[in-house]
Amino acid sequence: MVHQEAAKEVVPLMTPYKMGQFQLSHRVVLAPLTRCRSYGNVPQPHAALYYAQRATKGGLLIAEATGVSTTAQGYPETPGIWTPEQVEAWKPIVDAVHRKGGIFFCQIWHVGRVSTNELQSGGLAPISSTDRQISPDPESWTVYSKPRRLGTEEIRGVVDDFRRAARNAIEAGFDGVEIHGAHGYLLEQFMKDSSNDRTDEYGGSLENRCRFAVEVIDAVVGEVGAHRVGIRLSPFVDYMDCVDSDPVALGNYMIQQLNRHEGFVYCHMVEPRMAIVDGRRQIPHRLLPFRKAFNGTFIAAGGYDREEGNKVVAEGYADLVAYGRLFLANPDLPRRFELGAPLNKYDRSTFYIQDPVVGYTDYPFLEDDSNSKESGTQA
Ligand SMILES: Cc1cc2nc3c(=O)[nH]c(=O)nc-3n(C[C@H](O)[C@H](O)[C@H](O)COP(=O)(O)O)c2cc1C
């Protein structure tokens, strides 16, 4: 007998997957997205609605980059997780996601030199691996300040900030943490040779440049357990003047370091910038060697749509695919992918504004999904 289901299209993105101890019902992950709506670095009640809208039973959400200390901020109104007040403020947000059956990781972050004196308490210089400033970009809204090179003996304190942030995230109820080791922020400022000009044991060789990131990984794993830790890396990306002359060696070295920790949950990697091939934008798909070398779950991100996501999951290039802009604009993205439904367009002008609703919780759900907006019963 032929069941009706047999005729249904198999959507690889919508197939279940076991990520460590977490049973996921599909492969569509919310990428971490800074939204600049956490006034005074404290997450706000409107974030509970925003994340709950995007939560599904067995779906993985990664929270926006969340500062580990007072020196960690580089953008206005970004959340933190270093004070008891911040931990308390995260709790109802995490609860809202859990009530819908979602799995929620907190991305823990230090911007390093991607900051300004104005954003630092006491008007101090931002900290970094180097005292070299990011070259001012005429198209950018910000000129980042000249940083202060961290002294060797100060680095242990920053590692401890990550450790405390991880512990706080678990206390707030998060299922795990994602260490932000990507996009030119502090960890990458140490890792990549364009931004690390140190002569101590944190500079020079690849091993030395990765030492700080590895110490953070070890500290966070020691604090909350490898089964609750993932990391985001972007060896090929060149944001914020952070470029490495040998991204493949860098990625491979970091994967080896992750593999030392049995059960390390996931490695989340960002594709290089989209390449233009025959006039069409194409994802470069350079991550396969890392995916093959890594023992845990591999998440790919950067420019994916439904078709590309299905393809990489079907081919085994990635276990999960993280979606940024599409998930931002489509709170019910997994459902739309399941149905092959049309997508809302994202509005770039509202990405980073401070409005608690506009461009945040007001993107429409599929019209036929009558009960998803507040109570959310979709699978
Ligand atoms: C508004 C916005 C905020 C972002 N914030 C973060 C962030 O906090 N942490 C991070 O690792 N990446 C951040 N990213 C990068 C995204 O996670 C993602 O890698 C990027 O948007 C590419 O994926 P996409 O093509 O699916 O949008 C941000 C991107 C956007 C558009």
Please tell me the distance from the alpha carbon of residue 202 to that of residue 153, in angstroms, as a whole number: 11
Q: How far is the CA of 268 from the centre of ligand 1 (A)?
A: 12
Q: How far is the CA of 63 from the centre of ligand 1 (A)?
A: 11
The number of the ligand 1 atom at minimal distance from the alpha carbon of 31 is: 17
Give 149's strand partners: 128
Instruction: Give CA separation, 245 vs 6, 238, 269, 300, 301, in Å.
Output: 50, 11, 18, 22, 22
Q: What's the rounded Cα separation, in Å, for the pair 309 and 331?
A: 17
So what's the pLDDT on residue 4?
A: 52
Distance 127 CA to ligand 1 centre (A): 23
Atom of ligand 1 nearest to the CA of 352: 1
pTM score: 0.94
Predicted confidence (pLDDT) per residue in 74-131, tens digit: 999 999 999 999 999 999 999 999 999 999 999 999 999 999 999 999 999 999 999 9
pLDDT digits (tens, 9 = 90+) for 329-349: 999 999 999 999 999 999 999
State the catalytic residue, choosing from 50, 51, 185, 266. Answer: 185
185 is catalytic: yes
Residue nearest (by alpha carbon) to ligand 1 atom 4: 33
Closest ligand 1 atom, residue 303 Cα: 25
Residue 46: φ, ψ to 5°: -65, -20
SS3 label, residue 151: coil
Tokens read off for 53: 């809208």
* pLDDT averaged per 10 residues in sequence order, the chain, 379 residues: 60 98 98 98 98 98 98 97 98 98 98 96 96 88 93 98 98 98 98 98 98 98 98 96 97 98 98 77 89 98 96 98 98 97 98 98 81 41
CA distances from residue 225 to 62, 173, 182, 292 in whole angstroms, order as listed: 18, 15, 21, 23
